[in-house]
């Protein structure tokens, strides 16, 4: 980690004074706060928390790669969304997380700056235009890739018991993955 590196934390909440470890660390019970040194990556976490469908990662070159899993996914999830990017400076409190581009804070950390993002969708498209985000658009996926996505989502619907619930997340899958939903129903 470089001295004076900054980290971003995305939130729909606009009145934070410090970043608190409130999330569960991957595959543990430890509480952490997730941050990233990549502003563009943080944008994707300004989403509907009830649905929480994030399909991106970071390449070895530091470019954010976003994979659409259904038609117009990027627009549907992010158009009309706004939120806040909280910025903190590097410290011995920031450690590498389980995913490339993700770091964690284990202690409350002071915020040094706040950036309001009025239109997340336009910010993402602008970053794509400038080469900081690469979008793998659904309509350009091969038929084989589309079938893989359908199978993966079908399995996720089944293992998450979405067929038995009426929640924002289950309605999201019914609406955006109708073929996977039907295949999941046939499987039961």
Determine, yes or no, domain membership for 21.
Answer: yes
Determine, yes or no, domain membership for 1.
Answer: no
Shared domain check, 176 and 130? no
Predicted pLDDT at 125: 97
CATH code for the domain in which residue 24 is found:
3.20.170
Judge whether 65 and 57 are in contact, CB under 8 Å: yes
Predicted pLDDT at 26: 74
Q: Does 92 have pLDDT greater than 80?
A: no
Shared domain check, 123 and 33? yes
Per-residue pLDDT reduced to its tens digit, 10-34: 999 999 999 998 988 877 888 999 9
Shared domain check, 148 and 120? no
Does the predicted TM-score (pTM) go above 0.85?
yes
The residue range of the domain holding 88 is: 6-140
Predicted pLDDT at 139: 97
- Of the chain, the end-to-end C-alpha distance in Å amounts to 49
Q: In three state form, how does the secondary structure of the chain look? A: CCCCCEEEEEECCCCCCEECCCEECCCCCCEEEEEECCHHHHHCCCCCCCCCCCCEEECCCCCEEEECCCCCHHHHHHCCCCEEEEEEECCCCEEECCCCCCEEECCCEECCEEEEECCHHHHHHHHHHCCCEEEECHHHCCHHHHHHHHHHHHHHHHHCCHHHCCCHHHHHHHHHCHHHHHHHHHHC
Q: Count the Cβ atoms, other than its own, within 10 Å of residue 19.
A: 23
- Report how far residue 18's alpha carbon sits from residue 63's, in angstroms, rounded to the nearest whole number: 28
- Report how far residue 106's alpha carbon sits from residue 94's, in angstroms, rounded to the nearest whole number: 8
CA neighbor of 36 nearest in space, from 12, 51, 19: 19
Q: Does 2 have pLDDT greater than 60?
A: no
Predicted pLDDT at 187: 86
Per-residue pLDDT reduced to its tens digit, 101-133: 899 999 999 999 999 999 999 999 999 999 999
Q: In total, how many domains does the chain have?
A: 2
- The whole-chain average pLDDT of the chain stands at 92
Per-residue pLDDT reduced to its tens digit, 118-171: 999 999 999 999 999 999 999 999 999 999 999 999 999 999 999 999 999 999
């Amino acid at each position: 980690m470089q001295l004076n590196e900054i980290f971003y934390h995305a939130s729909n909440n606009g009145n934070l004074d410090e970043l608190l470890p409130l999330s569960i660390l991957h595959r543990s019970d430890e509480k952490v706060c997730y941050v990233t040194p990549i502003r563009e990556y943080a944008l994707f976490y300004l989403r509907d928390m009830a649905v929480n469908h994030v399909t991106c990662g970071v390449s070895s070159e530091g470019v954010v790669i976003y994979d659409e899993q259904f038609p117009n996914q990027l627009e549907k999830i992010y158009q009309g969304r706004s939120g806040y990017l909280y910025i903190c400076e590097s410290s011995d409190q920031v450690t590498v997380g389980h995913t490339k581009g993700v770091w964690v804070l284990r202690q409350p950390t002071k915020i040094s700056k706040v950036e309001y993002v009025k239109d997340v969708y336009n910010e993402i498209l602008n970053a794509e235009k400038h080469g900081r985000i690469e979008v793998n658009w659904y309509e350009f996926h091969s038929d084989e890739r589309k079938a893989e996505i359908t199978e993966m989502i079908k399995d996720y619907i089944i293992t998450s018991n979405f067929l038995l619930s009426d929640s924002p997340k289950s309605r999201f899958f019914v609406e955006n993955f109708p073929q996977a939903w039907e295949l999941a129903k046939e499987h039961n």
